[in-house]
A and B are shown apart, each in its own frame.
Chain A
């Protein structure tokens, strides 16, 4: 009888109840599953957060670009040359012959 067979016989003779082994094995498996689950949950959470952050960064960049673009476009449409054109079209002319009224302050 080789050493392996002897070891198997020894385990049999030990007479420990088989359900105890099953419980231990189940606990180990459950622990492993729990750890794996936690890892997966954490990794998933990180992945989601990372994508959200990246998405927000892109959105932030786009909004900054849109903001700068809008400021430029508004300024271009309201530049002095176009204001002069539009005011001239409405018949407005430079102010002349301004009359200043002296107000007695009572002093």
Chain B
């Protein structure tokens, strides 16, 4: 080998060695010295945080009919600076969205990034735009709460804001359970910003919110709302409330208040209409409260049904003159007369004979002055002054006996009277009967499942379970036993006789009804009453042989008549008659036999 060849060989080896050294040095720089910075940058460039939201839990009525569901909406966003052709994009979007070209040009002409072009788009439109595959235009789906029944049971259901937070009713009370899981996961994206196919170690599947099965029956709810609307129209009442409750379980079958609202359109509704008067607005119940006064007197042994008193029409008690609603005296009267004539003097006589301690102890046992514990957001306490309170006056003992000077919510009144209808056992009112925790993959179709909730009892397993689902069935809960079964039976009979004698408007042919009318004045600030306005009400249950429901009808400020007997009682009668048919409750035996015999 010549010297020149040797020199070239040496030079070649040197150059190759240099290259190898440079490569190694570069590798050391990239892999060791700047490893962290470059690694972080790579992660930043190729990773995104993807937020996946599971849908909110659905709400069904007791028969599996959907009351609250979820609908999918789309929003369209774009990055105008990245559009390859604004004109082409405008034309494509315009035809898909049905938006004027000019509006789109304005939106796409902005110099901002992530410009919102359209929102609240139906699923079909959103999908169509997504399929167009326009670069830098994204169609993103999101969940929107949907109420297929419109305003039906709105006060019970509540509503959900665009921030996906529930307020009022079931939506508010069960917010934590209903809310779907939100999962934020880091994902690696490719150059088209799609998920990298190499990163499938974690497939996110956030858990949807818990489904709820209510005790509400949508048919009964609709009937109730219909009768309430008719009552407002016929009596000129400004507002009203009707509650239908199963006394044996505490299940609220219907709870209607008017004026109501449509949860689908909650942003345009005055905030005052969201409040559920049935649970949140305490009122002076008036004469329907005499049921509790009489129950207390019977339970304490103060009187028997045939005990008598002298009804003079007016009487001074606790330094205040108490008069009957018509100022008429009925002379020597027994306890059924007291209920039939709705005597204030008689009721005040009972509370005075019982004494404050006994009377208030029984009222508290009926839950007056304390929330019932219903699973709805915003329940009020009501108020009950007792003898140990500083602002209690001796005359309160008399006025409280006929439902004045204290307040209770309509639901508290229904729950207390339901104890009379349920052998003296007071049940906790409830709206949710079952909670279904879905595993995430099972879409339970209650409507078309074989099992339906048809009876008053929600037994475990009464709803078809899908694999992985957890069904929690709420058992009816007892609040207490304010009166004995014997006293309850006695009082039911007395109330039935009172209706038969004095409230024909509430009687349903074929069925014995027990109940009581109420006509209450409306207190206003300053210790006065808002004359001549009244709250007219009727609370009753039937059939007496085995009460299937307790109904409270409450009408605020009726114009045709101030009295519960002429305004609220007929509403009760119509509703009860429909419910007997709807629930397949046969007439009383003696009526049935007489009817058949007449044929």
Which residues of A does B touch, CB under 8 Å?
A: 1-2, 4-5, 46-51, 53-54, 57, 64-69, 71-72, 74-76, 79-81, 84, 94-96, 98-102
Contacts and interface: CB of A to CB of B under 8 A. Distances in A.
A32 B528 CA distance: 100
Interface string B550-593: 00000000000000000000000000001001000011000011
A68 B148 contact: no
Contact of B596 (A1, A49, A98, A102): A102
A46 B148 CA distance: 44
A81 to B, nearest CB: 7
Contact of B65 (A50, A75, A96): A75
B59 to A, nearest CB: 11
B370 interface: no
B72 interface: yes
Interface string B44-70: 000000000001001000000110011
A1 B55 CA distance: 83
B66 A50 contact: no
B443 A64 contact: yes
Contact of B141 (A1, A65, A102): A65
A46 B200 CA distance: 9
Given A94-B578, A102-B593, A72 B148 contact: yes
A68 B72 CA distance: 8
A96 B577 CA distance: 9
A75 B148 contact: yes
B200 A68 contact: no
Contact of A80 (B72, B149, B195, B199): B149
B1 interface: yes
B146 A72 contact: yes
Contact of A75 (B6, B69, B197, B578): B69
Contact of A68 (B6, B71, B578): B71
B167 to A, nearest CB: 21
Given A75-B69, A79-B148, A80-B152, A68 B55 contact: yes
Given A69-B71, A72-B146, A75-B66, A50 B197 contact: yes
A1 B3 CA distance: 10
23 contacts: A2-B10, A5-B6, A46-B197, A47-B197, A50-B196, A50-B198, A50-B200, A51-B197, A53-B203, A57-B203, A64-B55, A65-B72, A65-B141, A68-B443, A69-B72, A71-B58, A71-B66, A72-B66, A72-B146, A79-B150, A80-B218, A80-B222, A96-B581
Contacts of A2: 6, 10
How big is the B interface, by class?
35 or more
Contacts of A46: 197-198
Contacts of A74: 66
Nearest to A99: B595
Nearest to B124: A69
Given A68-B55, A71-B58, A102-B592, 4 more contacts: A64-B443, A68-B58, A71-B69, A71-B445
Choose among A1, A76, A99, A101 the residue with the greatest number of B CB atoms under 10 Å from its CB: A76
B216 to A, nearest CB: 12
A52 to B, nearest CB: 9
A10 to B, nearest CB: 15
Contacts of B146: 72, 76
Given A47-B197, A65-B141, A100-B587, A79 B149 contact: yes
Contact of B200 (A54, A69, A94): A54
B9 interface: yes
Interface in B451-494: none
Nearest to A64: B443
B63 to A, nearest CB: 12
B581 A4 contact: no
B160 to A, nearest CB: 14
Contacts of A101: 596
A72 B70 contact: yes
Given A50-B196, A68-B72, A98 B6 contact: no
